């Protein structure tokens, strides 16, 4: 059984809430529960009462270019789901919160810091036999004024990664071992597609995202275990400038969340271009 959140010695324990906490705040008007999944059909099949859906493909991404939504679209999204700058949003989802932390990360590009993640995600809520509903909630539209998206602090681009290669600063490849070695171009049990070449960015060390969670319930491991995991694998410490990556940035947002909030490391960026960009770039090096 995993420890309570308060017993895990996180730098920011306030960014995690338990399933018990969510169950006790279902009717809190200052809270908006957000489900974000890899499979968008899961929400329609049943979701936490009062939860709204944020679809990573349609709601968070630009419709015609590989980039995220901009300020006007983010404001429209927040108005539609009934969120104000003062609303605390609680993210949860499938795959042990891959897409919940991805949505959390995108929200931070717009400075919505009133945000938390439900520890254990959708699977833990289900395993505990807690209620689901198919009723789609309706909230009054809000007026939300967002700052312009700020990519400078928590997002990395390919040029940033190229600079990392010359400075030998930590790069964390959070994919599976088979993707890291180049045996596969995608996750196990998924189609082998997404990039022309297999392998990893030179100098990157493989710390699969799943090592950060308890396999029995998907909750995050205690801070001491996490610090040892990343320091042992690649000298990922608070004084280093760290970049995480995966295939498209969702699994690496999970590791970004762990390093930034649970361990409190101040200089961690997520390279959302990840292997689908790097593995297709002309003229950049790879390792196998």
Q: What is the pLDDT of residue 207?
A: 95
Q: What is the pLDDT of residue 1?
A: 62
Q: What is the pLDDT of residue 168?
A: 85
Q: What is the pLDDT of residue 46?
A: 97
231 φ, ψ (degrees, to nearest 5) = -65, -40
Active site residues: 246
Q: What is the pLDDT of residue 121?
A: 98
Q: What is the pLDDT of residue 137?
A: 97
Q: What is the pLDDT of residue 234?
A: 64
Domains, in order of start, for the chain: 5-127 (3.40.250.10), 155-278 (3.40.250.10)
Q: Which residues of the chain have pLDDT under 50?
A: none
Closest of 277, 250, 219, 215 to residue 60, by C-alpha: 250
Q: What is the pLDDT of residue 246?
A: 96
pTM recorded for the entire structure: 0.96
d(CA 222, CA 5): 8
Cα→Cα distances 197→110, 224, 287, Å:
33, 36, 10
């Amino acid at each position: 059984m995993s420890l309570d959140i308060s017993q895990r010695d996180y730098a920011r324990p306030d960014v995690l809430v338990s399933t018990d906490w969510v169950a006790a705040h279902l009717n809190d008007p200052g809270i908006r529960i957000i489900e974000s999944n890899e499979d968008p059909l899961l929400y329609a099949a049943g979701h936490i009462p009062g939860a709204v859906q944020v679809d990573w493909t349609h709601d968070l991404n630009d419709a015609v270019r590989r980039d995220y939504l901009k300020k006007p679209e983010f404001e429209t999204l927040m108005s539609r789901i009934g969120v104000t700058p003062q609303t605390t949003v609680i993210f949860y989802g499938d795959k042990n919160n891959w897409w919940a932390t991805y949505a959390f990360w995108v929200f931070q590009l717009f400075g919505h810091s009133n945000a938390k993640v439900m520890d254990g995600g959708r699977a833990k809520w289900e395993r505990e036999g807690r209620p689901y509903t198919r009723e789609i909630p309706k909230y009054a539209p809000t007026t939300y004024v967002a700052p312009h998206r700020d990519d400078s602090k928590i997002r990395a681009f390919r040029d940033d990664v190229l600079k990392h290669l010359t400075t030998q600063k930590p790069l964390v490849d959070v994919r599976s071992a088979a993707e890291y070695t180049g045996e596969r171009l995608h996750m196990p049990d998924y189609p082998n597609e997404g990039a022309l070449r297999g392998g990893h960015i030179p100098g990157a060390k493989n710390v699969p995202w799943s090592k950060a969670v308890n396999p029995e319930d998907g909750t995050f491991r205690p801070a001491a275990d996490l610090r040892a995991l990343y320091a042992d694998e690649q000298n990922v410490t608070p004084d280093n400038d760290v970049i995480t990556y995966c295939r498209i940035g969702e699994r690496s947002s999970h590791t970004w969340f762990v390093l930034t909030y649970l361990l409190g490391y101040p200089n961690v960026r997520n390279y959302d271009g990840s292997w689908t960009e790097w593995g297709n770039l002309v003229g950049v090096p790879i390792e196998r």
